[in-house]
Chain A
Amino acid sequence: MTWISKSTTGFGLLLLAHACYSAHEHSALQSHRAASLSSLPTTQSGSTTSLPIDITIETVLATLMICLGLVSGTSRLRPIQWRVWAGQIEREGEAGFTNSSGEVEKDYVGNPFRLLESRPGFVDIRKQRKEFAEWVKGQ
């Protein structure tokens, strides 16, 4: 997923740089032509025309591509309401908090109710004793 967004952004930047160079060349050529034609009596009034349509299209397309690439490269959003957020952690665990390259994000805190669930008062001591006894028998 990450390489798609990065390559889209990179290609868009390349197109934008090319459009920038083209526009610069165009304006340089126009000013050169205007300077050379100024000696002639029939000076074209349309010599300082606007940008050619292909450069315009290239620029707009490049902008849209960069935009798409950057948006698809953003990290996943997290629910702001506590109950929705804690529910997502319960259901999906670490899988719901991976970044675009598939690693768990650094500020993933885990279950916010971890402290409650491991509270000593809630430990089922009889069940643990039974399990231990079975384990001892099995040895």
Chain B
Amino acid sequence: MPTEREFQIAPIVPESVMHNTKALSNLQNLTASIFGAAAGILGLESYSGFLFYLVFTVLTTVLFYAIRVAPTSLKAGHATFDTSRFFRTQYEFWAGGLFGGLAGYILTWTLFYGLVRA
């Protein structure tokens, strides 16, 4: 956990933090709704639906890492799967989307399940 002293030595730009977090959470909310539609069309029920969400969200995050984070982060000398150049904590990047998009996912999942199986 960084201390006050470390923040004084290596300050952080709040605008950049907000910009990056907004980009990631927008993406995750959008994709969660799309995954819900797909799960409803496939007719998934109970655990398989949540498993579907988990797999695709992790896939999206890895894709986001590969396209947006990795090219500049690896060039700057960070280790693989290290997102400290753009995000404050690793947890925020890798697991933040799982809970942020879950509500939207369940909403569209139930909607499309009901629509398709009329």
Complex interface residues of chain A between 70 and 107 (CB less than 8 A to chain B):
70-72, 74-85, 107
A80 in contact with B16 (CB, 8 Å): yes
Residue interface mask A12-41, B partner, CB < 8 A = 1: 000010011001100110000000000000
Q: A20-B37, A80-B85 are contacts. A85–B64 as well, Cβ < 8 Å?
A: no
Question: Helix, strand, loop or mixed for chain B's interface?
Answer: helix
Closest to A82 in B: B11
Question: Helix, strand, loop or mixed for chain A's interface?
Answer: helix
Q: A77-B20, A78-B19 are contacts. A59–B117 as well, Cβ < 8 Å?
A: no
Residue from A67, A77, A79, A82 within 8 A of B60 (CB atoms): A67
Residue from A64, A70, A79 within 8 A of B85 (CB atoms): A79
Instruction: Name the B residues within 8 Å of A81 (CB-CB).
Output: 10-13, 85
Instruction: Name the A residues within 8 Å of B69 (CB-CB).
Output: 77
Binding site for B on A (CB under 8 A): 16, 19-20, 23-24, 27-28, 50-51, 55-56, 59-60, 62-64, 66-68, 70-72, 74-85, 107, 109
Binding site for A on B (CB under 8 A): 10-13, 15-17, 19-20, 23-24, 26-27, 30-31, 34-35, 37-38, 41-43, 56, 59-60, 63-64, 67-69, 72, 76, 85-88, 112, 115-118
